[in-house]
Amino acid sequence: MKRFDAINRIAEVLTEELVICNIGIPSKELYHLRDRPQNFYMMGSMGLASSIALGLAISQPRKKVWCIDGDGSILMNLGSLSTIANVNPSNLILIVIDNESYGSTGDQYTHTHNNTNLEIIAEGAGFKSIVKITKGEKIKNILRDLGKGCHFVLIKTKPGSALVNNIPLKPIEIKNRFMQSFTKN
């Protein structure tokens, strides 16, 4: 399984969830697989998808918020894990797709390829609900079955990215349609 396969399975179970997606190719892959107004393709702030998702979960407590993050990005912002675990919102799923590489810059190894274990880091940060997935066919059922809570979902994949086009939306367009997708209701 590569990240594209994991995002494909995540995209297939989305209903009304608000999704904050990691910078770079992950967002392009999600756009290619299933574009929707409730997707926020985060551009320009590597490492901050999880922080944005936390803020959104706090400000929209009746909405389900999913963050699709990556190993390289979460390693840039490890403090976010302890903040999220201590705020402990009941409506947030932080999905980290760990392909052990910086996929958007040429698949250079990250530290998870060697000694660093994000599952243990999440536990130490204080997450009470941690799921590790290594088989793609389990992704949909696990995500469907997660109830209310603050969940850390680690999906281990192989490196490599799909050949997908750039997102043909300006950042302001992404932001505006995203905000309209849940403030209209």
Residues that bind Mg ion in the complex, under the rule CB under 5 A: 70-72, 99, 101, 103
Shortest spacing between CB 100 and Mg ion, in angstroms: 7
> Rounded to the nearest whole angstrom, what is the least distance from the CB of residue 116 to Mg ion in the complex?
12
> In the complex, which residue's CB is closest to Mg ion?
70
Considering the complex, state which of residue 64 and residue 122 has its C-beta at the smaller distance from Mg ion.
122
In whole angstroms, the minimum distance from the beta carbon of 3 to Mg ion comes to: 7
> Which CB sits closer to Mg ion, 45 or 90?
45
Nearer to Mg ion, 148 or 158 (CB): 158
Q: Radius of gyration over alpha carbons of the chain, in Å?
A: 15
The two three-digit tokens of residue 152, written as one number? 């850390």
Which residue number, 38 or 110, has a Cβ lying nearer to Mg ion?
110
- Amino acid identity, residue 138? K
Residues 6+ apart with CB under 8 A from 112: 71, 75, 98, 100, 118
Minimum Å distance from CB 91 to Mg ion? 25
β-partners of residue 20 are: 40, 67
Residue with tokens 């040429």: 106
Query: Using an 8 Å Cβ cutoff, are 123 and 181 in contact?
Result: no
DSSP conformational letter for 57: H
